[in-house]
Structure 1
Amino acid sequence: MTESSAKPVIRLLLVEDDQIDRMACKRALAQHGEYEFILFEAETGNQGLKVARDEKIDCILLDYHLPDLSGVEFLSELAEDSGDLPMPVVMLTGSDNAMVAVDAMKLGARDYVVKGADSGGDAMQWLPAVVMRALREQQALLDKAEALAQLREAEAKYRCLVEQMPAITYIASLDTPGKLLYVSPQIQQLGFAAESWLDGCEGFLRRVHEEDRGAAIEAYAATYDNHAPLRCEYRLITHSGQARWFLDEANVVQDENRGALCLQGILVDITLDKENAQELYYYRRRLEELVAQRTEQLEKQSGILESANARMDHELCERKRAEAALRASEARFRLLLESAGEGIIGVDGEGLCTFVNPTALNMLGYDQEELLGRDVCATLHPGTTGADETCCTYHAFRHGNARRGSDTFRRKDGSALAADCSAQPMCVDGKVVGAVLIFRAVGTVY
């Protein structure tokens, strides 16, 4: 359907072998003043099929009884490989064979109009309205198909992004507490196939270390009862029997009309952080033991004041430095635990930002609209181009090479953000289509 400067234009194909019926159709269409109908005519089915394929037709008016083809045969020839008709079809039928038109509608025809003087009134007067209704239905189907295509494209894009992240993402049911509806392939790092976690109703809880299971169940219960955010740490037992520490953070997904839908979360392996904490604890205890031993020695050697004072000053200085280092280490570790979320930026094959999470926005000082569609390498490293060979993100989306290391990003206000970052290429069917940059801040340089 096109539109001229005066009023909308509708291109119709009338396939009818009876000249009187064709004239009746023309009169009915001419009485509709809101649209201009351009009418193509064909007296046989084969002529009509040729016009339908050669011309840009918005709607077809089809007589069921034609000299060479029946209405059913015409619809079969017109249908595409998928079985759908490329344009709406309105059947023209006599009052004595309306059921034939109904059968044709089962094959894809949108509606029918009874023609002829014996139709019990001038039914042709409704022809323009029937045509407009068929066109509206056709447009609604096209809009629905386009919306579904966009939805599938968006789902594929975000699934690809999620499944390229090092962290484990999951969706859990709210109807059956603990039951997993989805878990990303990264769960295989525990030695189990992703599908095996979807069986049963315990989800991760069945693999939680027995010493941590009670606290984990209590944390999940609070989230399911109050729809509060979930944050807990526990050990999961791998297929080989090894225990690994994970930080579990999740939120209840809400819908304005349907309420709470599901629990969506992320599992981050913090085993290395826990080992560092254990090592710090060991050195602190060892330091305390050394201080106690040195103090005891000083008390026993109180007779040698000069030597004792020198040794005490030395030990006190060492103790202060060790305690300062311990406090600094504890502060960094506490910050690591309290800031478990990493900054995540997704880029396409040209290095343009397609996704950025709130943590990354907060660290870089940008709004989401300011980063989407921008060259990530050039934005994070002003003064360089997107082909900066020192940028780990460039190597990921351009060469398909995973990079991990330290880098300095430029924030929106001009300050420099020092970060540990990991860039992983995103691949579809063996082809690099983008990359995921995951980073966490290690300091800010002014």
Structure 2
Amino acid sequence: MGPQGASSYSLLRLQDARMDPYSGQMSVLIIDDDEAICKALGNYFEDLGFIAYQADAGLEGLDVLLECRPDAVLVDLAMPGMGGLEFLARAREIAPETPMIVVSGTGHLEDAVEASRLGAVDYITKPILDMAVVENSVKRALEHSRLKRENKDYSERLEDLVLTRTEALRQRTQALEEANAHLTEEMTHRKKTEEALRASEARFRELADLLPQTVFEIDGPGKLVFINKHGLRTLGYAQEDIERDIQAIQMVSPEDRKRIGQIFSRLLKGEVISPNEYTALRKDGSQFPAMMYSSPVLHQGRIVGSRGVLFDLTDLKRTEKALRDSQARLSAIIEVFEGFIYTCTQDYRITFTNKKLQQHLGKDCVGELCYQALYGQDSPCERCAMDQAANGETVRQEFLGPLDGRWYYSVDTPVREAGDGASCKQSIVIDITDRKTAEEALRKSEAQLREENIRLRSSIKRSGRFGSIIGKSEAMEQVYETILKAAVSTASVIIYGESGTGKELAARTIHEMSQRAQGPFIPVHCGAIPPNLIESEFFGYKKGAFTGADQDKPGFLASADKGTLFLDEVGEIPPAMQVKLLRAIAGDGYTPLGGRETLYPDIRFVAATNRDLFDLMEQGALREDFFYRIHILPIHLPPLRQRREDIPLLVRHFMEKYAGDQPVPPMPPDFLKSLQKAYWRGNVRELESAVHRFTTLRETAPQSLADSSPGSGAPKGARPASPVRLPKLLGKEEPTLKEVAAAAEREYILQLLERYKWNRSRAAEILGVDRRTLFRKIKEYGL
């Protein structure tokens, strides 16, 4: 607010030497040891209408200052006894608000600086040639003093007004909080709601801390004569704008101008105006909701304008809307909540039920006793948590419904009123019958798994078998322990082992012993899939996804749903495919080629490899994140040469397998010993091949059969292929040409695989076929 109008009015009154109706006749104290100057100044100011007190020494001047309290003081610097500077220092302690003007004949700069430091408002040098100079100095000093007093009074009134309005807003905020307290307690997602309420309360407190924001003053004709800096920023104006003729009504939206104009008119007539809401208009044309508190400005007993405080209600309006939206959302949540919600008083009377509970009961039982209406009891339930809720406790429990025999989970919480204890109890009840049934089924399944575990251990000791796996060596018993642990887990498994150690058999055993045994077991030879087809093979495709896709085709992931997907030779998967497969392994689903819907199959992943995956990671052929997704439960299958004690069991098993309906041929001891001494680069697969040849060809010279095995000795590089021998193929004296060709093909493929340590890519290259064809042949011939 600018003091322009009031200041000019006061100066005119001083110039006319009239009495001010608020402060009385002005007085001035003149202190000078020069009697002539002292008297001349006194006469001059008396002619102007002042009361002029005179003193010829500093000490006498202090007495007059203390007794008469003049409105202004003129003091000489150079006086006998107490000088002017000492007087200023003493006078500032006695009357700090009284303006002091120094009159001196010395004119030294040092004296002027020191006098200013001691509180002098002006410095006049002698001789005084024009009394108007002194008059103007006194008038300026008196005007400055008056403005300081007015500013102080106004600041105190403004502070009182701010405190009053802030308290009113605080009470409104508190009332709003209390009005929403009951609904807030009924929210099912209390944590989010409490956070929203805390945020709303914080916004309210922030709004209160910032109030008042804009202070303004308007003169009678409606011109804006003052606005504080915050108001300038809020409304987008500069101080230069205010110094020009701006009507306050310009800062009101067009639709509210008539109403606000009428309010200003009523204020000028002396009416008491209540706070008013309206839409304020910024300089740039944008609008915001506002609350205006205004009061009239009195001058000489008449109303000359109005002053007011303007509050920006933008945050409050936004908060109110957020609370309304929050209440609507919470009401919607309660309506669609699948559980039961009800509240009851301490005397067990129901005060609220949600829609789901009403549908369940077939009625709205508000006002009835909870134990009768909900549970069919004649007295409060034994498990009732009313006492705990009254003490402010939250009780969680499971119980069996006495009416329907179903299991329920309840959360009983106290519902509090502001300043009081719990007045009622809120209960949230969820039907958990399906979960309890599943838990019981799981307990039975665990018991069955324990019994199966005991049976398998007994079977291993008795027959050397673990499911379909043959062997009871110490190394294999450790493998069996790990398989059992993997079977009861849901984590991904990776099986390490050389070619021919039985990785797929181990994976199938894990599947058959797990809870997924009734689901599919899908083995995938990753190295046999061409890179350009691997994505479609795993994810499948939709009709029209690419040329030739004339119908939908499910992939390996879809086929393995509810079962186990076995990734053999997992290290052969290209890195680009690893990224896409990683999402499915992590449970984030996949999208078939040409499809839009993301599928989320329920799959247990079991991988296997005969390669060093750490080397593959260093080479960049295997992604680190993919490795750690599949390498959770590792199983290491020992090579056959590290469990030679299992060879007799394996030999017996394979002889019975391939003998069929024929009697099992006797196993010469020397032949068995030679088998136990062999290196078995191809492991169990190679041993099976050797036993198969012995059983099929009916060789009577077992040593020659053992010698024909490429793995009969320690590895010392590749061995030359021996010529194909086909005597008595399949027990026939004269086999057909087709049978001879098939036997020769099988024998040659086996020799190549053994020569190149089961490197399928190298073998396929020599044979002149692709890897997929080679894999088909290996499976066809049982290699």
TM-score (norm 2): 0.23
Q: Which has the higher contact order (CA 8 A, sep 6+)?
A: 1
Query: Which of the pair has more CA radius of gyration?
Result: 2
Structure with the larger strand share: 1
TM-score (norm 1): 0.39
Structure with the larger helix share: 2
